[in-house]
Amino acid sequence: MNKDIATPTRTKQILEKYGFSFKKSLGQNFLIDTNILQNIVDYAELTEESCVIEIGPGIGALTEQLAKRAKKVVAFEIDQRLLPILNDTLAPYDNVQIIHQDVLEADVNKVIGEQFGDTKDIMVVANLPYYVTTPILMKLLEDHIPLRGIVVMLQKEVAERMAASPSTKDYGSLSIAVQYYTEAKTVMIVPKTVFVPQPNVDSAVIRLIRRKNPPVSLLDESFFFKVVRASFAQRRKTILNNLSHNLNMFDKETILSVLQEVEILPERRGESLSIEDFAKLSNALYSSISSNNPSKKI
């Protein structure tokens, strides 16, 4: 029986066998600690009926642990040089499918239909490349992919932003977007010493469990996110100034009047507003535009 991939010795052997060199541009950092990988898989709470999507399998260290517990694993790998390595390291597992594609360009819903059939329990579990963490997660959430949840390792600082509460330095539009779709919790801190090559910062594992229903009721989802982004455009500015400068379909007087209507002080900053405050604000702004000018495009 082969030793686990995620040991320093075995990882080194695999890399030497294939003459593999890391590409900084792809954010490649491979984990060399089996216990941490097993903990990540534990947080996904997989059963024999679970199917898993992995993004950036590397040489298959996490994929191997997932394959031992899940019904099927589909992994998206962008680096062609890793395909023969994965073919070798994952040969013992017949429930793994590697797709050579950038997940940001993939039709993930279509892949799920083709690969997972009528499986109801689908998780994303991955050690995400730092440089594309946010776009990947937002795609998975915004495309309404039928996931139970997501357990991913990413830069500690990004995990902190995703799970942040109002009135903290980490809280921003990313916190609200992630928490609108999921219940977010940082479950583990991972030191940089357990990777090769060693990254410059520590990592964290965040667990995002998909909400059955959003926590707030919105008149228009995309307009809500537009208001949120505008409110955080310049963190030091007040909500009134940010909205006046960044929502150009409104004049300052209208914004002031809507803020008064929903009882939000104009001198507050975006970071002090909860997701419920933003829902009230965006719904009131949306209503004001519709009632004042029904034909106006938002």
Would you put residue 50 in left (φ > 0), alpha (ψ -120 to 50) or beta?
A: beta
Q: 195: left (phi > 0), else alpha (psi -120 to 50), else beta?
A: beta
Number of Cβ within a 10 Å radius of residue 233: 15
Quote the CA–CA distance of 218 and 73 in Å, as a whole number: 35
User: Which among 86, 56, 52 has a CA at the least distance from the CA of 67?
Assistant: 52
Tokens coding 294? 């029904």
Q: Indicate the annotated binding residues.
A: 29, 31, 56, 77, 102, 127
Contact 266, 231 (CB under 8 A): no
To the nearest 10°, the Cα dihedral for 167, 173, 178, 184?
-20
Annotated binding residues for S-adenosyl-L-methionine, written as ranges, equal 29, 31, 56, 77, 102, 127
Q: How far is CA 103 from the centre of its chain?
A: 12
